[in-house]
């Protein structure tokens, strides 16, 4: 056995999920493992070409090629068994001829050809075989009868086949060393077939736990122990062992194997349809590659059942997916509807916000104007109270003076007193007080007013002059007195004069006549 991988140490303390992951990795690497075997086969074929006419060398190389192929590919194994037989006859060696018949028996059994097994072995003269070939002969007969027993599952013949198989195992193990793999394994197998499960488990676990087994021997042992665990309803333990056995078979490029099939069956029973389908497909691929008729029939009977359940499972998933997709579609539509509603509401809110902002802006302007108007009123009320009080005081003094003059009948003095009243001076004083009060409220009125004209049309005031007539007309406008007749009365001008003033001033401005007074009203108070 050329693969000496010791799986007891490799698989120790590996969990179930990790084993599935590791098995899937091995499945993906199957071609790589097979490639290694094919390289060894290619090297043996080169050795065969270099052997020359040495028949014994041919026999040895054919034996090695047969060993590589016997669990790998039936057709090739059969071809090299034929070459072995031809070489044995050429050597005229009865031992080699009979040993070749045993090898034919092995591949016939692996392919499920029970009649051919017995035909081949019936021609063997056991006395001529050496110890190794005898063990192979007896173990092969034991396996054949056990396989017949499992195949028939019949009340009469099954016990008969098991009994014969037990006798052949006894004959084989009598030729083995007590601690050898063959002795411990086949003794455990005999315990299993006779129903002594406890002793069978002891033997098989002893091999797994304490022997450094090559991959193929590990796979055989683990598969057999898993069969006991299946009977004892210890499915988890059986699955773990079958996963390890399947990995060992892949590692050793063994195509004639039952581990992957048994694993698929167990997973199918547990409802793991997806993994069961993957592994039963692998088992069918191996059976087809090897050419094992019995194994192909066995797997082909199981595959449609698992495939059908997988299709049902996929269909169920598809229906569930369709349901959830439909549900998501409905939810998406609802979300879109709500999104549209929310969007419209947001648009309305934006419009409302704009209205509110505009209203706030207008309110702010109104408040500003009201504050300005209140300030103007406060200033001018104070101003006019002061002015009126002064005129009342003047009138009071004038009245007392007139009364005194009337009482003393000094009528000429009254005339002189009246003639001394200077109305122009009083009006100038009134305008001066107006100018002071107005510029106190609107200190930037003159620069703002001039900004409405080009430089050559700016108002140029005399020294100590606060406002001139042009400015005073539009100062009254800024205070809200827009009636031309009132402005004319206050300034002691005719209405036409005021019209002319306004027309002349507006004509010089940089803005249109319609916008001029609006610009005047836009001049801010302090």
pLDDT in tens, 195-221: 999 999 999 999 999 999 999 999 999
Q: What angle do CA 18, 20, 24 make, to 5 degrees?
A: 115
| Closest to 8 in 3D by CA, of 171, 178, 165, 241 | 241
Q: How far apart are CA 246 and CA 258, in angstroms?
A: 8
Q: How far apart are CA 179 and CA 185, in angstroms?
A: 10
Specify the DSSP class assigned to residue 211: S
Which pLDDT belongs to residue 240?
93
- 160: alpha, beta or left, given left = phi > 0 and alpha = psi -120 to 50? alpha
Which pLDDT belongs to residue 465?
85
Backbone angles phi, psi at 301, to 5 degrees: -75, -30
Which pLDDT belongs to residue 294?
66
CB environment 374-404: b (16+ within 10 A), e (fewer): eebeebbeebeeebeeeeeeeeeeeeeeeee
Q: Are 229 and 208 in contact (CB under 8 A)?
A: no
Which pLDDT belongs to residue 427?
77
Please identify every stretch of the chain with a pLDDT value under 50, giving residue numbers as ranges.
1-14, 385
Q: How far apart are CA 188 and CA 146, in angstroms?
A: 14
What length does the chain have? 526
CA distances from 82 to 38, 71, 77, 86, 386 (A): 20, 16, 9, 6, 144
Which pLDDT belongs to residue 302?
74
The pair of three-digit structure tokens given for residue 394, joined into one six-digit string:
């003047």
Q: How far apart are CA 485 and CA 498, in angstroms?
A: 8
Which pLDDT belongs to residue 13?
43
The pair of three-digit structure tokens given for residue 515, joined into one six-digit string:
């916008």
| Non-local CB neighbours of 289 within 8 Å, separated by 6+ positions | 73, 255
Q: How far apart are CA 40 and CA 18, in angstroms?
A: 31
Helices and strands: H and E segment counts in the chain: 23, 0
Q: Are 66 and 81 in contact (CB under 8 A)?
A: yes
Which pLDDT belongs to residue 10?
45
* Residue 232: Cβ within 10 Å count: 12
Which pLDDT belongs to residue 399?
72
């Amino acid at each position: 056995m050329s693969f000496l991988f010791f799986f007891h140490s490799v698989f120790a303390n590996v969990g179930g999920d990790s084993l599935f992951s590791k098995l899937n990795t091995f499945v993906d690497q199957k071609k790589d493992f097979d490639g290694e075997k094919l390289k060894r086969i290619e090297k043996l074929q080169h050795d065969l070409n270099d052997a020359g006419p040495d028949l014994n060398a041919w026999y040895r190389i054919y034996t090695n090629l047969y060993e590589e192929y016997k669990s790998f590919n039936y057709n090739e194994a059969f071809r090299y068994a034929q070459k072995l037989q031809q070489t044995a006859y050429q050597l005229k060696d009865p031992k080699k001829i009979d040993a070749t018949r045993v090898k034919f028996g092995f591949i016939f059994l692996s392919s499920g050809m029970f009649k051919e097994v017995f035909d081949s072995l019936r021609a063997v003269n056991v006395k001529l075989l050496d110890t190794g070939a005898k063990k192979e002969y007896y173990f092969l007969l034991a396996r054949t009868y056990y396989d017949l027993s499992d195949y028939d599952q019949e009340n009469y013949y099954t016990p008969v086949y098991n009994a014969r198989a037990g006798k052949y195992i006894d004959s084989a193990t009598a030729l083995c060393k007590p601690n050898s793999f063959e002795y411990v394994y086949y003794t455990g197998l005999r315990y299993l077939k006779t129903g002594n499960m406890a002793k069978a488990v002891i033997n098989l676990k002893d091999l797994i736990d304490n022997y450094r087994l090559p991959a193929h021997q590990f796979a055989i042992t683990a598969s057999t122990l898993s069969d006991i665990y299946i009977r004892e309803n210890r499915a988890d333990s059986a699955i773990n062992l079958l996963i390890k056995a399947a990995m060992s078979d892949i590692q050793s490029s063994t195509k004639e194997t039952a581990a992957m099939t048994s694993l698929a069956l167990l997973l199918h029973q547990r409802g793991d349809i997806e993994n069961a389908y993957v592994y039963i497909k692998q088992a069918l691929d191996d059976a087809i590659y090897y050419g094992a008729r019995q194994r192909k029939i066995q797997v082909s009977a199981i595959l449609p059942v698992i495939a059908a359940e997988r299709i049902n499972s996929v269909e169920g998933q598809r229906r569930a997916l369709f349901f959830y997709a439909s549900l998501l579609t409905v939810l998406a539509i609802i979300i879109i509807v709500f999104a549209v509603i929310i969007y419209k509401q947001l648009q309305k809110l934006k419009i409302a916000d704009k209205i509110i902002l505009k209203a706030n802006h207008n309110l702010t302007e109104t408040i500003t104007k009201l504050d300005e108007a209140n300030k103007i009123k406060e200033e001018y009320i104070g101003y006019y109270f002061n002015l009126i009080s002064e005129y009342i005081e003047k009138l009071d003094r004038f009245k007392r003076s007139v009364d005194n003059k009337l009482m003393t009948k000094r009528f000429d003095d009254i005339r002189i007193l009246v003639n001394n009243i200077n109305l122009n001076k009083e009006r100038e004083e009134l305008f001066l007080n107006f100018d002071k009060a107005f510029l106190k409220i609107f200190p930037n009125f003159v620069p703002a007013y001039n900004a409405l004209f080009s430089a050559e049309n700016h108002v140029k005031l005399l020294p100590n002059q606060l406002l001139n007539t042009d400015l005073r007309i539009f100062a009254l406008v800024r205070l809200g007195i827009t009636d031309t007749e009132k402005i004319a009365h206050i300034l002691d001008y005719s209405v036409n004069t005021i019209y002319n003033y306004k027309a002349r001033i507006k004509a010089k401005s940089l803005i249109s006549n319609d916008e001029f007074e609006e610009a005047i009203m836009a001049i801010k108070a302090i």
